[in-house]
Structure 1
Amino acid sequence: MKTVLIIGMGRFGQHLTRKMLELKNEVMIVDQREEALEALLPLVTSAKIGDCTNEEVLHSLGVGNFDLCFVCIGTNFQSSLEITSLLKEAGARFVVSKATRDIQAKFLLKNGADEVVYPERDIAERVAVRYSADNVFDYIELDEDYSIYEIPPLKEWVGKTIGEVDFRARLNSSIIGTKINGETSFLPGANHVFRAEEHLMVIGRKKDIDKILKHL
């Protein structure tokens, strides 16, 4: 469990808050608008109405006590930049700021952000990969080279084990999980038998998994 401060209760901030709570973290939320906080008040550890570009407001939050601080302001980049800088000056341990463009990310990193996230870009890329291929059920990019794909097994694998297919050696990728009817089993062994109705969660380099996709 971690202590988390989330500043900015737009759509991204609210979704982030709900997921952080679902993962059993302690969350404090802040926004200038009272109505933006209302739906989450019964769920979070604490909430505050305030403008975090004001140093007094920011210091009153005790930012140094949080494991993570998120700046989720997407409509006013100047405010996002100021808050990111003030958080670091106030002793924040780790600051994650939202950006929509690369130029914003550069300024945020120079002004105190430990990491920058691009939620809109990341979702757009994930959706593009998923829907441009007929047999990709889900997709998560890990870095420029590696990704996780959720795909069906090839027809010639069905009835064979992972060991018989020699998956890792032949395909230079690994199966980290299987899914049937929404239920996921992780780290299947070499004796796992491929079934036509299951989904495979495959991790590897994109260029290697692309070779598999061409045969689906």
Structure 2
Amino acid sequence: MKKEFVVIGLGRFGGSICKALAEQGMEVLAIDNNEDRVNEYAMIASHAVVGDTTDEMVLKSLGIRNFDHVIVAIGDNIQSSILTTLMLKELGVNNITVKAQNDYHEKVLRKIGADHVVHPERDMGRRIANNIVSNNVLDYLELSEEHSIVEIVASQKMDGNSIIDLDIRAKYGINIVAIKRGQDIIVSPQANEIIRTGDILIVIGADTDINRFERRIVE
């Protein structure tokens, strides 16, 4: 059964989400107060409408509470973002994701009940920085302020050793949750799994432990 989404705000962030959801065959209602943006997405989204989402009557007329997930991607007006989120909560929307411009904005959004808050520019900046700093780090996903999931390329130093030989969990406090090897993905690898040069290790743990592992084992 297809899920039904609403994307409010069709700037770069909201527009990219709208396109990605539509490409996956999801039902998407796209809303913006700019008619030109709405016209741009009229052939991409299932429905695209011009509307002021800080107006409760507009949201009610769209049957907003009947959708599975609403993404508030308003990027240039914090007040509109907060008021829209507040209206959505009061109307009983079950799942709300909101784009935050800064930490203060996030605090307010969480106070009024946003289910998920994202910082796309900040998070992408951190991912890029991690990729630049280390030749071994392919990708980076922040789970919290102190924990992450990281893709690390196994170096020649690790070649031929099993996970238990390297004693990664005990020494570094991190877990290898999967290994990418060519077209194959080994999920929850066994302790006796042999690591080969060029394997992509998907590890999870505290940032300090991951950095320590990378310095001592990978490089």
Q: TM-score, normalised by structure 1?
A: 0.87
What residue in structure 2 maps to residue 128 of structure 1?
Answer: 129
C-alpha distance in 2 between matches for 1:4 and 1:23: 12
Q: Tell me the equivalent position of 2:204.
A: 203
Runs of at least 5 residues in structure 1 that lack an aligned partner in the other structure? none
Alignment of 1:11-50 (within 5 A): 11-50=12-51
Cα 1:188–1:25, aligned 2, differ >3 Å: closer, same or farther?
farther
Query: How big is the shift at 1:4?
Result: 1.6
> Any conservation in 1 of the 2:155–2:198 contact (CA below 8 Å)?
no
- CA shift digits 1:82-134 (9 cap, x unpaired): 21111122222222221111121222233442332211111112222221223
Structure 1 residues 27 and 156 mapped into 2: Cα distance closer, same or farther (>3 Å)?
same
Q: 1:95/1:175 Cα in 2 relative to 1: closer, same or farther (>3 Å)?
A: same
Change (3 A) 1:33 1:184: farther
Offset, 1:33: 2.5
Cα deviation, residue 181, structure 1: 4.8
Aligned length: 216
State the partner residue of 1:110: 111
C-alpha separation between the residues in 1 aligned to 2:162 and 2:82? 53
Distance 1:112 1:63 in 2: 16
Q: Is the 8 A contact 2:100 2:106 kept in 1?
A: yes
Match in the other structure for 1:212 = 213
On the 8 A contact 2:30/2:49 being kept in 1, the answer is yes
Tell me the CA shift for residue 71 of structure 1: 1.0
Residue type of the alignment partner of 1:202: V
Q: Deviations over 1:166-215 (max 9, x none)?
A: 33333321112223457644333334321212221111111211111113
Contact kept in structure 2, 1:153 and 1:195, CA below 8 Å: yes
The 8 Å contact of residues 137 and 151 in structure 2, kept in 1 or not, is answered as yes
Residue type matched to 1:135 in 2? N
**TM-score relative to the length of structure 2:** 0.86
Residues 11, 208 of structure 1: CA spacing in aligned structure 2 closer, same or farther, 3 A cutoff?
Answer: same
The alignment yields a C-alpha RMSD, in angstroms, of 2.3
Question: How far apart, in 2, do the equivalents of 1:171 and 1:89 lie?
Answer: 46
- In structure 1, give the amino acid aligned to 2:202: M
Task: Give the structure 2 partner of residue 162 of structure 1.
Answer: 163
**Residue identity opposite 1:106 in structure 2:** K
Distance 1:85 1:213, change over 3 A: same
8 Å CA contact retained: 2:7, 2:18: yes
Q: What percentage of aligned pairs have identical amino acids? A: 38
Q: Which runs of 5+ in 2 are unaligned?
A: none
Distance 1:111 1:168 in 2: 39
Asked whether the 8 Å contact 1:100–1:121 carries over to 2, the reply is no
Which amino acid in structure 2 is aligned with residue 64 of structure 1? R
The amino acid of 2:51's aligned partner reads G
